[in-house]
Amino acid sequence: MTSTPAPLELFDTARLLEDDEREIAATVRKFVDTQLKPHVADWFESATLPRELGRKFGELGLLGMHLQGYGCAGTNAVSYGLACMELEAGDSGFRSFVSVQGSLSMFSIHRFGSDEQKDEWLPRLAAGEAIGCFGLTEPDFGSNPAGMRTRARRDGDDWVLSGTKMWITNGNLADVATVWAQTDDGIRGFLVPTDTPGFTANPIHRKLSLRASVTSELVLDEVRLPATAQLPHATGLGAPLSCLNEARFGIVFGALGAARDCLETTLDYTRTREVFDKPLAGFQLTQEKLANMTVELGKGMLLAIHLGRIKDADGVSPEQVSLGKLNNVREALAIARECRTLLGGSGITLEYSPLRHANNLESVLTYEGTSEMHMLAIGKALTGLPAFR
Ligand code: TGC
Ligand code: FAD
């Protein structure tokens, strides 16, 4: 068979990248192909994510890679996005780990922490020697974090935190949790070492999505913290929401990695799978699906690189990140499901990646702001009328 281009090669999106960006993507891709992909089906089936991966991600410079100083790689946003894409080509769980560690835990400390907090936590988090998590969502307040009930009250110089956080990635792996709570002065952030008395993390079992990722409930029962545990520069809901922008940006690229892996897997399969005495890839209906998926993958990649260039130049707005997250996750999920149809019965096992990616992308569609929240954010930008309430 003549050699054929990979879907993104048809678009020649690599032309839009600098040499060092291409090198970072290639390095992460090789790591994912050799170190992670051979194990991912087992980890997904057994619902585990080995803790040691944190150190490996740290050695590669992936943790907080777009942050400056404290042992962080200090790359541009496009490079961070490309790394997320390559990780998510392996599994959304890998990208989730890196998103939460770098964009939520480390970013919250880097942006809002004191010098002492930065010195204490960032170098260890960058190296993967310590793991962080980010507790914003509560059982009754996911899309609407403004309503959170977790409360931090003053007792002398100390803070005392009580409440429950839900669906927290890396909760059971974490050494430190960034916890958002109501105070008499509005929402504030706190760094909670997870060995503090009164702090418990309970793993959430029986997930059908993001199985190669640890998801937890955090219970804070009168957790007493010194005054120095508060993030001094975080005031109001805007603080955690600005952390979300960072992680959402990574997902704009990341989701395309899952989609690309589905499409490449399916292209290989349809070339060799014979139905009605010829390769499945040779049927017009198959080619219509492959063409449509390639068009959406390429459009998503152009959008991701465009948003990355804006972020690196002037800073990307939350609404622009919403455009990217809404489109690229929605299209990635559609691609994963369509690929599964082309695999037939074979598509329902862990031998092939598309259904695993599709199941993962159901979570990605929901976390970091559901599709509906991003539609409403775009609607607000277009009309000036907030329709969240
Ligand atoms: P609203 O009044 O609009 O805003 C409150 C303040 O925040 C500011 N703001 C933002 N700032 C930075 N970035 C953003 N994206 C921002 N959106 C709003 C806003 O300007 C305002 O500032 P100020 O100074 O005026 O006070 O707040 P609202 O209560 O009406 O809510 C708006 C809404 C619905 C968009 C927001 O609540 C929202 O984004 N909800 C979705 C929640 C969410 O995405 N949760 C994610 C939790 S973390 C997670 O899922 C991790 S998964 C990670 C993984 O495993 O990969
Ligand atoms: P709800 O807010 O109850 O939404 C349910 C449905 O109602 C959705 O379709 C939603 O779009 C819709 N809806 C809500 N409000 C409106 C409205 N105004 N108009 C129209 N429709 C609306 N959170 C963290 O803080 N840290 C983490 O590390 C983290 N990791 C996660 C990992 C996984 C695997 C998952 C699944 C979630 C994680 N989350 C995390 C939580 C995630 O951010 C929330 O699940 C998400 O924000 C949605 O909140 P919810 O589940 O309470 O759904």
Q: Which CATH superfamily is domain 133-236 in?
A: Butyryl-CoA Dehydrogenase, subunit A, domain 2 (2.40.110.10)
pLDDT tens digit sequence for 228-257: 999 999 999 999 999 999 999 999 999 999
- Say which residues have a Cβ less than 8 Å from residue 13's Cβ, sequence separation at least 6: 298, 301, 302, 305
Question: Which residues of the chain form beta strands (DSSP E)?
Answer: 132-135, 151-155, 158-169, 176-183, 186-193, 199-203, 215-225, 274-275, 278-279
Give the per-residue pLDDT at 357.
Answer: 98
The verdict on the CB of residue 146 being under 6 Å from ligand 1 is yes
Is 60 exceeded by the pLDDT of residue 351?
A: yes
The verdict on the CB of residue 279 being under 6 Å from ligand 1 is no
Give the per-residue pLDDT at 2.
Answer: 65
CA-nearest residue for atom 36, ligand 2, is 363
Amino acid residing at 203: P
Dig out the tokens for 85 from the structure. Answer: 């894409």
| Domain range 7-127, CATH architecture | Orthogonal Bundle (1.10)
- Helix, strand and coil in the chain, % to nearest 5: 55, 15, 25
| 138 is an active site residue | no
Q: How many CA atoms lie within 13 A of 153 on its CB side?
A: 6
- The position carrying tokens 């955090």 is 218
The verdict on the CB of residue 142 being under 6 Å from ligand 2 is yes
Average pLDDT, the chain: 98
Buried b (16+ CB within 10 A) or exposed e, 343-357: beeebeeeebbbbbb
- 100 DSSP assignment: I
Residue 50 phi, psi dihedral angles, 5° rounding: -60, 135
Rounded to an integer, what distance in angstroms lies between the CA atom of residue 151 and that of residue 160?
A: 8
Q: In CATH, which of 2.40.50.140, 1.10.357.10, 1.20.140.10, 3.30.40.10 is domain 238-383?
A: 1.20.140.10
- State the distance from the centre of ligand 2 to the C-alpha of 313, rounded, in angstroms: 31
Q: Which ligand is nearest to the CA of 215?
A: 2
**7-127 and 238-383 share one CATH topology?**
no
Domain ranges of the chain: 7-127, 133-236, 238-383
pLDDT tens digit sequence for 31-67: 999 999 999 999 999 999 999 999 999 999 999 999 9
The verdict on the CB of residue 97 being under 6 Å from ligand 2 is no
Q: Is 201 helix (H, G, I), strand (E, B) or coil?
A: strand
Report the Cα 292 to chain-centroid distance in Å: 25
- Is the pTM value of this prediction over 0.85? yes
Rounded to an integer, what distance in angstroms lies between the CA atom of residue 223 and that of residue 115?
A: 23
Amino acid residing at 110: H
